[in-house]
Chain A
């Protein structure tokens, strides 16, 4: 069995407790309008152009068979060798071996490994195998949007120590519009997670005029509170979000006005505290 990752970070500071090694699994069923990891959306391996040092000479595009997609010809044509394949296949054993090399440092800090994406649950058999083989090696966390079959998600609950669970939009129609899928399975799995007793953090991206509306934040707060949650983390939209699209020859076209400032921190915190929740802005 092999899984596909598009990045590994050895020192990710916002993906759970302690020093964490994060594997980003490739492929995601959602298409969030503000996605800042567009290379994580497709499961297939893609060719990506690094932006640092790019001469803007256009050789990569001219060499590509399809001018909308870079390929190995682009890689050969780039004078700075900035076009590289994005997507690496590896077995759970190989992944586990990489973690083991860092486990002493991870464990000494109270940290561990985090599976992120893309959407890690989209490669569920691989994810389960990795988590199983990391039992007893280090602390295991999954960062997910929860859009996955309920039975599969329940299986995941048995082999994972910690979740970072995203809630974006409570309104189903808006969720379909901005994330491309319905949110019913997400909310259902959230209830499962809350009932399971596995510790988790709820995370809410603050997207201007989309998720940071008073109605949406209040609805998320009520929903979280109903599920016995006390703390949420808020991630303000970063104007750098679109930075990676050019490397995939894609244009970042968010379906909202990104120049509008995110709702002030104090207002956000107040909305959550009204439901008895403590919010932190990252």
Chain B
């Protein structure tokens, strides 16, 4: 790391820069439903831009830090997407403006309202960028002022200009309250600028330093973007993978980003890596060095599974090949999708519990019980769909003219993203508690139907009593087959449940003309939804958490990583395009030397070879977590993977801290 980077890191960690922010926002009258139309949205956006003041943090190469603590009421609210960085960097805002002006004369009334609002937003952007440029020039920040003479209005010419333009756009999108704007395929859309700078004489080391400074800049202001928990801010980057024609697109910038992230050990941006069955071990070894740092990333996704999965729900092949992730793990297509990837949740254990309550006593055999389960799964899907329809997600959000300018083909269609302007308008449903539900079915099959050692009534009573005075029965249920032990008796039931969910859901059109997409993710629901669910037949006590996303239940004793990998790869995943990773904790001593690192890399490679969809690994030390929980001040920079993102352990709510500590009880070492 260069001295300059070291200094910036120290400056960031001191955190004192946050004390100078303003808290004086203009308010504009909102309509009764608080959903502004296009013109009002543009006025609100312009007011937000106008209220900003140039803020530079020390030796700041990118600027565009937040002045106002809060965002203007009524703005935005649509997010967890990624925008068309590629076109924006190439054409600049004036290019966007030219496309709007070209479209305006032929637009209908609705289109004119959207496009004119878009023009007003661009004008506000231009004024804000100019304000910052003048301030930079006045403070002799010549590099930044020079770049701002060109971007964001004109296309970027080199790597530095592209980075400044990038910083500008993500900053104004935040002002627009477009939350969780993920960075998408950074190593692809930045590559031409990177190569141009190299060709113009910059060295790799200089560009690595620049990248590091840019990454550091993403860690300022994250306190303003807390998401559900601090750290859940959506600043995900996707690296590697193939291009839109299917050619390998892992490149020199991919490696440079991995280097930068490893050296910095910061939680932003959060690294994702696309791999496939042909990815060489050296790439996994490179990426394992990040895991070793305890960052909880890279999160891996398997092109061999994800691309066919996206195609099956209607994404064009070239778009599917271009996939990235939303804030956590949900697969999205950059720049042309207004997908809402977390609009609902399938709570598997709730369905199994309900089926148990209604049909266990009357089912003559397990097959009958399973067919009732299938019916209940379908009923649950219908219920989820009805709730989604009633919720009216897009209409509740009001017009989004600004972000729509960066989602294709909103301008050409003359339609806002909330009005069907985007190419894709699909809705993702998480699937939470799969392992708990599959384990419950496996326990019911073994104890009630095969051994006949427990009657339906006895089981039902024990569940109602939360195993009070019935620890022996609970022990018996806990010793039944569990997902995670490479035991078909449990794994096949997991596959059955996923099929019930995905085959039914994915065939349903949405009201907006899109498709539903089933997933294996949980977001925070592994704690939140689980709290409401009583005792389950796998032996889980009432209200206790499920596994995070697609992982063995916290109540299951599992043999080890090889069994876990095989359990969670043996079912076909191409019906689950919404994503959701297997999460595994490895003890940090595994990474002690290169021998250990290589074996971790081989383990990841094995997961991909087995057909796994998505994987995140935590290098973790239980004692360190316990100490940090007791004495947060002793370890303020300890980073952990929470669900689809990494955060500072000490900034998490205790319930998430406890879940992570619990996951380490069976840590593999």
Residues of chain A touching chain B, judged by Cβ–Cβ distance below 8 Å, are: 8-11, 13-14, 18-19, 21, 52-53, 81, 101-102, 105-106, 108-109, 111, 282
Contacts and interface: CB of A to CB of B under 8 A. Distances in A.
28 contacts: A8-B559, A8-B560, A9-B560, A10-B559, A10-B561, A10-B563, A10-B668, A11-B560, A11-B590, A11-B668, A13-B590, A13-B595, A13-B596, A14-B595, A18-B599, A18-B602, A21-B560, A21-B562, A52-B622, A53-B665, A81-B475, A101-B486, A101-B563, A102-B563, A105-B565, A105-B610, A108-B602, A109-B602
B16 interface: no
8 pairs of A and B residues whose beta carbons are closest in the complex: A10-B560, A109-B602, A10-B562, A11-B561, A13-B596, A105-B606, A102-B562, A52-B665
A81 B471 contact: yes
Contacts of B140: none
Nearest to B602: A109
B567 to A, nearest CB: 11
B603 interface: yes
Contacts of B622: 52
Interface string B576-611: 000000000010001011011001101101100110
Interface residues of B, number: 27
Interface of B: 471, 475, 486, 559-563, 565-566, 586, 590, 592-593, 595-596, 599-600, 602-603, 605-606, 609-610, 622, 665, 668
Given A11-B599, A101-B486, A101-B566, A282 B593 contact: yes
Given A10-B560, A101-B566, A109 B599 contact: yes
A109 B561 contact: no
A105 B596 CA distance: 16
Nearest to A103: B562
A19 B602 contact: yes
Contacts of A106: 562
Given A81-B475, A101-B563, 9 more contacts: A8-B559, A10-B559, A13-B600, A19-B562, A19-B599, A19-B606, A81-B471, A108-B605, A282-B592
A112 to B, nearest CB: 12
Contacts of A282: 592-593
Contacts of A9: 560, 668
A11 B560 CA distance: 7
Q: Which of A10, A13, A102 has the most chain B CB within a 10 Å cutoff?
A: A13
Contacts, number: 66
- Tell me if B's interface is mostly helix, strand, loop or mixed: helix
Nearest to A79: B471
Contacts of B561: 10-11
Nearest to B668: A11
Nearest to A22: B560
Contacts of A108: 602, 605-606, 609
Contacts of B471: 81
A53 B554 CA distance: 14
Contacts of B593: 282
Contacts of B605: 108-109
B587 to A, nearest CB: 10
B202 to A, nearest CB: 40
B660 to A, nearest CB: 14
A275 B298 CA distance: 44
A21 B590 CA distance: 14
B603 A11 contact: yes
Contacts of A11: 560-562, 586, 590, 599, 603, 668
Q: Which of A18, A52, A111 has the most chain B CB within a 10 Å cutoff?
A: A52
Contacts of A8: 559-560
Nearest to A50: B665
Nearest to B595: A13
Contacts of B609: 108
Contacts of A52: 622, 665
B625 to A, nearest CB: 12
A19 B565 CA distance: 13
Nearest to A280: B593
A14 B486 CA distance: 24
A21 B182 CA distance: 40
A109 B668 contact: no
A37 to B, nearest CB: 14
A109 B475 CA distance: 36
Contact of A13 (B475, B562, B563, B599): B599
Contacts of A18: 599, 602
Contacts of B590: 11, 13
A241 B486 CA distance: 31
A183 B74 CA distance: 81
Contacts of B665: 52-53
Contacts of B592: 282
Contacts of B600: 13
Nearest to B472: A76
A108 B559 CA distance: 20
B296 to A, nearest CB: 19
A212 B589 CA distance: 22
Nearest to A11: B561
A8 B606 CA distance: 20
A160 B609 CA distance: 29
A255 to B, nearest CB: 26
Contacts of A81: 471, 475
Nearest to B597: A13
A21 B565 CA distance: 14
A55 B662 CA distance: 15
Q: Which of B563, B593, B599, B665 has the most chain A CB within a 10 Å cutoff?
A: B599
